[in-house]
């Protein structure tokens, strides 16, 4: 094998090892563009939602599509649209907190899915993102 062939194979190997996985990763990451629009500071809240609520609820910004419970984009922000100011967010947040703390529909949505410290974080996230 001469030096030129050797270098060509080296470059090809580099391409396969480094660039292709990177490309696949980027491609995968951009599949769900709506949930990508969520701020990095909301990663924790979004993860909590995905893990604890997403199997039952659709919320576009969390990238979930559960159908056991109502679509939260539609239920919370259907007619009036997404919460636009702090007051509307606070009102929606306490509605979501009530649902999480007390449950709904005779156990169809069980009470106490989240620890007390997580309730506000998730409810605030849902209130800000529902309908967006
Ligand atoms: C086991 C399935 C299930 C899980 C898990 C679940 N829910 Fe629900 N949720 C439901 C069902 C079913 C309803 C509708 C109950 C009814 O209206 O009788 C509902 C209703 C709601 C509502 C509507 C309340 C209203 O005022 O209209 C909100 C908000 C909500 N859930 C938020 C959440 C959040 C946040 C989580 C995660 C912490 C969650 N849910 C987890 C099943 C679930």
Residues 84, 45: Cα–Cα separation, whole Å: 20
50-65: burial string, b at 16+ Cβ within 10 Å, e else:
bebbbebbbbbbbbbe
pLDDT digits (tens, 9 = 90+) for 63-118: 999 999 999 999 999 989 999 999 999 999 999 999 999 999 999 999 999 999 99
Residue length of the chain = 132
Distance from residue 130's CA to the centre of ligand 1 (Å):
13
Ligand 1 neighbours (beta carbon < 6 A):
52-53, 55-57, 68-70, 72, 75, 95-96, 99-100, 104-105, 108-109, 113-114, 122, 126
Question: Among 45, 48, 102, 104, which residue has the most ligand 1 atoms within 8 Å of its CB, making it the best to mutate?
Answer: 104
Q: Write the residue with the smallest CA distance to atom 19 of ligand 1.
A: 69
Q: For residue 58, is pLDDT > 90?
A: yes
Q: For residue 31, is pLDDT > 70?
A: no
Share of the chain above pLDDT 70, in %: 85
Whether the CB-CB separation of 130 and 64 falls below 8 Å is answered with: no
Q: Which range scores top for mean pLDDT: 13-22, 29-38, 109-118?
A: 109-118
Residues 119, 102: Cα–Cα separation, whole Å: 11
Q: Write the residue with the smallest CA distance to atom 5 of ligand 1.
A: 53
116-125: burial string, b at 16+ Cβ within 10 Å, e else:
eebbbebbbb
């Amino acid at each position: 094998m001469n030096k030129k062939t050797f270098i060509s194979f080296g470059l090809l190997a580099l391409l396969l090892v480094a660039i292709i996985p990177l490309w696949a990763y980027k491609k995968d990451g951009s599949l769900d563009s709506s949930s990508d629009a969520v701020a990095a500071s909301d990663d924790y809240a979004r993860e909590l939602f995905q893990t604890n609520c997403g199997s039952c609820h659709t919320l576009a910004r969390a990238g979930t599509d559960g159908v056991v419970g109502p679509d939260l984009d539609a239920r919370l922000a259907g007619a009036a649209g997404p919460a636009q100011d702090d007051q509307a967010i606070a009102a929606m947040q306490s509605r979501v907190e009530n649902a999480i703390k007390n449950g709904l529909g005779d156990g169809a949505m069980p009470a106490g899915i989240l620890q007390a410290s997580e309730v506000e974080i998730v409810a605030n996230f849902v209130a800000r993102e529902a309908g967006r």
